[in-house]
A and B are shown apart, each in its own frame.
Chain A
Amino acid sequence: MPDATPTNGTPRIGFYVCHCGTNIAGTVDVKAVADYVATLNGVVVSREYKYMCSDPGQELIQQDIREQKLNRIVVASCSPLLHEHTFRHATEQGGLNPFFFQMVNIRENVSWVHTDQAAATQKAKDLTRAAIRRVFSHKALEPKRVPINAAVLVVGGGIAGIHAALTLANAGKHVYLVEREPTIGGHMAMFDKTFPTLDCAACILTPKMSAVKSHPNITLWTYSEVAGVDGYVGNYKVKVKRKPRYIKEDLCVGCMECVTACIYKDARFPDEFNVGLSKRKPVYIPFPQATPQVVLFDPETCLQLKKGKCKQTCIEACDRECIDFTQTEEFKDIEVGTIILATGFQPFDPAKTPYYGYGRYPNVYTALEVERLVNASGPTGGEVVLRDGSHPKAVGIIHCVGSRDEKTNRWCSRVCCMYSLKLAHLVKEHTGAEVYNFYIDMRTPGKGYEEFYDKLLKEGVHFIRGRVAEVTDWAMTPQEEGKLVVRVEDTLIGSVRRVPLDMVILAQGLEPRADAQDVRRMFNISCATEGFFLERHPKLAPVNTFTDGVFIAGACQGPRDIPDTVAQAGAAAAEALALIDAGHMELEPNTAYIREEDCSGCKSCVPLCPYKAISFLEDKKKAWINEALCKGCGTCVAACPSGSIVQNLFEDEQIFNEIDGLLSELAQV
């Protein structure tokens, strides 16, 4: 029998089983459950109702608490992850401490996953009986209130991070925007025109970039990375590593005299911003509108930094004395209340699809490379040319490279059809070549997208529906000599075709970044199976994570286009603002505490806590848990060899009662 010593009198339990329309009632015989529970020890009220989470449903609970003098509530309905707080609130509204409530999941765990009605009903009864037994030993608890520091950390300075930072800064909050690259702008800065309006990416992005730079509420740290995160919602302590540019950032005006004067007369090293299509010197600025407008030195290629001996013509040329080769990395400690991760994506590496010939045939390009080619400030001044400088007469764009593919990535990368159409348009415009798009499905769901596709159809671009099997230079006919041949099944005409082309563009998909796992561990969030950051709920909480205070926005959560990215960034900023303006957050009171009179001072628990919440008090010779640091995992509770640690909400007695309730005979309680 459960030890019936609740803290507020003999248990008088109100039980409610929800039909949830037919979601539950269609499989579980809810009336039978209600009737059964009415017979259990301690149950005063046992009702069934169509929608417990609705206002009338919640009213029912409150009314019964008052009229029937209930002191425990059990609701059998959906998952506690969904509605536990709803019913706790209703319990509280009824005048009872909200933690005298226990929820039974008979939807996600029963009615939605079982087909045998008898078995499902039996399971619902067992789970309910367990909850009834458990709730006997529930105690009144007060949630922990933590204050929220108004400063925000935004990690990642692409369009998502920029938009989130500006939104928050405009709301008067202080933002630290940390970006790994030497400039903000992200992938969007590399694009030429954006679909479907063909806006110039730089034109719409650069005003935002400079707004970030000049905003009094934003501390912009580029060429920096987050090195460590400690703390919890409202009170995060973050360590940021600032990598050395070897430039005094506040003195440099971006005149680039040092670049001109560099001992390397010619640029020799692959230019990252132009995806290796052009070269740069060891001292460089990523692109003309880079923000901040400050050069940097590459320690791998600069002679002074690598070998320690150079004429240092750059220093001579700099009249503001900005260059400082003695710089080292610097660590900054900041305190913020909320964090927004906007770390973006990485493009699929077509080396993983060798049958498309990237790296083997010089004129197979990735989409990102072609973005740089068509860009007027790119490596070729906007000329779409082959490696030998000539203009292509026939260009093919292969869709779904590294997407919708069991061999590489299963997902659809969402933006590639649209950017492939855009590139088709731009290439045709720049070169007049015949353009072929090899697609599986044409995915154009956004506003104006279908109309854009329509326009392309009228421009004379050729569309061939089929997944390309391979790109080869092996000619079978004289017309194919010296060309790249795409072999594809044209499914609409039902035959295999060989299409000779001068240039092949691979529409590479979007992937999670290679270090996504390391990053997410640092911030204590999860990744989904594909490796993108995991949202709390795919529909109702797409920018929240399971960690309070940490939000995600943009492509790091999944492939998306610029409009959706900006929308998400705004959403994440709003979530952060909601917390900040509330001023505090209530944390689940499921922390552990040590019963001092029971503790023998054996110290077995002290090394167990990763948050260092447990310490040994030398004066009392007992262990002690700092409630503010305890996260409520319960590991120490299970480990204490004398049973002297208790976890609120998950006490041994409560769990033993739950186990016993699950297994006890139907007839007796």
Chain B
Amino acid sequence: MPDKPKVAFYWCASCGGCEESVVDLAEGILGVVDAVDIIFWPVAMDFKRSDVEAMADGSILVSMINGAVRSTEQEEMVRMLRRKSQLVIAYGACAHLGGIPGLANQFDREQILKFVYEESPSTQNIEKTYPTLKFQEDGRTVTLPEMHRLVRTLDQVIPVDYYLPGCPPTPKLLQQALTALLSGTAPPKGSVLSPDIALCEECPRKETKPPDLSFTAFKRPHTSELDPEKCLLTQGFLCMGPATRGGCEALCVQGNMPCSGCFGPTSRVKDQGAKFLSSICSNVVATDEKEIDATLATIPDPVGTFYRYGLAASLLRARMGRQAEV
């Protein structure tokens, strides 16, 4: 009897939500464990790194790696998994686009460490103890992985075969992806495994958006009431639906929150944030520079808004000079 295909999961700089999305397959998970042999899943199973190292190159059918790559350990692991796997799937927004960890590219490593270990309001670190990369005691040396200076998407480190978008990908999408892979009906290499059309297409509130929408100001979800029926962009909230790939069934919108762009752009767009910026600014009403600025001032953090998930994958990728105020 032929061996079941081998599957690995790994997490890099991530929140664990992607791992949960696999678990969210619920009963579907049984179908998965029946069909495949999970040989590595740090969050859930006790396989060791050395187990994977011992395997032959290419002997894993698919490794699903989530999280952005931020440390030398993550880099080592993903390189190894790439060698050992036939296919690598960038699983979730962090691996696909850098995700929210990608926003760290606005700051440099030293600033971040300083904030976390000294300056944050909830930190109490009188001795100013910082993580040390190498520490010797009693003749033993312990090491820590080093933080890279830059947060990277998975494909900025290793070649990636497919992308499962979303923060996290929906169980439905994961199911569809696994089925396609296992049955050999996978789309061309390099594809993002969700429809290549913007979210508005499947949005339940689509009918309520007028064809002449223009803006004098933008609202933020925590400052205003959100009408549960009407198109959120029409209400003045920055819904990134028009600039975001669909396939998630507009879950956030159904939860009465504007889309924040986690599925990334369509294949025709290189920089999701730039395109969304272009679209909403084009429809601003003001014609006078001062008035334009006043309208745009209602978006206090453009990078955090337009590039919430996609900064590491964007055209600029990171702040130059890196002297941002934390």
Please give the residue numbers on chain A whose beta carbons come within 8 Å of chain B beta carbons, in ascending order: 597-604, 606-608, 615-616, 621, 635, 638-644, 652, 656
Q: How far is the CA of A180 from the CA of B162 in the complex (A)?
A: 69
Please provide the 4 A-B residue pairs with the shortest distance between their CB atoms, ordered closest to farther: A643-B268, A600-B198, A641-B243, A602-B242
Return the chain B residue nearest A653 by Cβ: B268
Contact: A639 with B278, CB < 8 Å? yes
Return the chain A residue nearest B267 by Cβ: A643
Q: Inside 8 A of B283's CB, which chain A residues have their CB?
A: 604, 607-608, 639
Contact: A598 with B213, CB < 8 Å? no
Contact: A641 with B276, CB < 8 Å? yes
Contact: A600 with B212, CB < 8 Å? no
18 A-B residue pairings within 8 Å (CB atoms): A598-B266, A598-B268, A600-B198, A602-B200, A602-B241, A604-B213, A604-B279, A604-B282, A606-B211, A607-B283, A608-B283, A615-B211, A640-B275, A641-B278, A641-B279, A642-B197, A642-B242, A642-B268
Return the chain A residue nearest B214 by Cβ: A607
Return the chain A residue nearest B282 by Cβ: A639
Contact: A641 with B213, CB < 8 Å? no
Contact: B242 with A604, CB < 8 Å? yes
Q: How far is the CA of A602 from the CA of B276 in the complex (A)?
A: 12
Min distance, Cβ B276 to any Cβ of chain A, angstroms: 5
Q: Inside 8 A of B279's CB, which chain A residues have their CB?
A: 604, 639-641
Overall SS of chain A's interface:
loop
Given contacts A602-B242, A608-B282, A635-B282, contact A641 B198 (CB under 8 A): yes
Q: Inside 8 A of A607's CB, which chain B residues have their CB?
A: 211-214, 283
Q: How far is the CA of A603 from the CA of B200 in the complex (A)?
A: 9
Interface centre among B206, B211, B278, B283 (most CB of A within 10 A): B211
Min distance, Cβ B211 to any Cβ of chain A, angstroms: 4
Q: What size tier do the contact residues of chain B reach?
A: 20 to 34
Contact: A606 with B198, CB < 8 Å? no
10 more A-B residue pairs beyond the given contacts A597-B197, A603-B213, A606-B211, with a C-beta to C-beta distance below 8 A:
A600-B200, A604-B280, A606-B212, A621-B206, A639-B282, A639-B283, A641-B275, A641-B276, A642-B265, A642-B268
Contact: B282 with A601, CB < 8 Å? no
B37 within 8 A of A: no
Residues in B34-72 with C-beta less than 8 Å from chain A: none
Min distance, Cβ B43 to any Cβ of chain A, angstroms: 34
Q: Inside 8 A of A604's CB, which chain B residues have their CB?
A: 213, 242, 279-280, 282-283
Contact: A601 with B200, CB < 8 Å? yes
Q: How far is the CA of A178 from the CA of B276 in the complex (A)?
A: 47
Q: Inside 8 A of B243's CB, which chain A residues have their CB?
A: 641-642
Q: How far is the CA of A635 from the CA of B281 in the complex (A)?
A: 12
B92 within 8 A of A: no
Residues in B239-269 with C-beta less than 8 Å from chain A: 241-243, 246, 265-266, 268-269
B270 within 8 A of A: yes
Contact: A656 with B270, CB < 8 Å? yes
Contact: A600 with B201, CB < 8 Å? yes
Min distance, Cβ A77 to any Cβ of chain B, angstroms: 32
Return the chain A residue nearest B268 by Cβ: A643
Q: Inside 8 A of B209's CB, which chain A residues have their CB?
A: 602-603
Identify which of B212, B246, B269 contacts A643 (C-beta below 8 A).
B269
Q: What 1/0 mask marks residues of chain B from 193 to 204 whose CB sits below 8 Å from any chain A CB? A: 000111111000
Q: Inside 8 A of B276's CB, which chain A residues have their CB?
A: 641
Q: Inside 8 A of B282's CB, which chain A residues have their CB?
A: 604, 608, 635, 638-639
